[in-house]
Amino acid sequence: MQATVRSFDPVTRSGSVFLDDGTVLEFGTPAFDAGPLRLLRSGQRVRLAMTGDEITYITLSTFPLPDSPGIQESPGSPRDKETPGPPTGDRAPGYFL
């Protein structure tokens, strides 16, 4: 599930987000600390993992969610597909002898 940061307090490492339908959800320190981020700013797009109605993980929208039994995206949310790496070998596109 994706959302937009509404507020973030760097002291408590908690805040709130707007879902795309305008719903406001709060997230606590544990949800922020579970992810790789150090800071959020208002208006930033983020990706959320939820357990029930509680945000359990928050990261940037371009970062994948971890595969963990306790971390689940909301049903119907798109997951990132693995992106293939760059071509290898001596005939990779853009490679000239």
Structure tokens that stand for 95 in this block: 């490679």
Whole-model pTM: value is 0.67
Q: 55 or 92: whose pLDDT is higher?
A: 55
Q: What is the pLDDT of residue 95?
A: 47
Q: What is the pLDDT of residue 94?
A: 54
- Going 4 to 42 to 34 to 59, the CA torsion angle's sign is positive
Q: 71 or 19: whose pLDDT is higher?
A: 19
The Cα–Cα gap between 50 and 2 comes to 11
The Cα–Cα gap between 9 and 41 comes to 9
The Cα–Cα gap between 94 and 14 comes to 46
Helix (H, G, I), strand (E, B) or coil at 57: strand
- pLDDT, one tens digit per residue, over 28-86 is 999 999 999 999 999 999 999 999 989 999 999 888 888 754 544 544 444 444 445 55
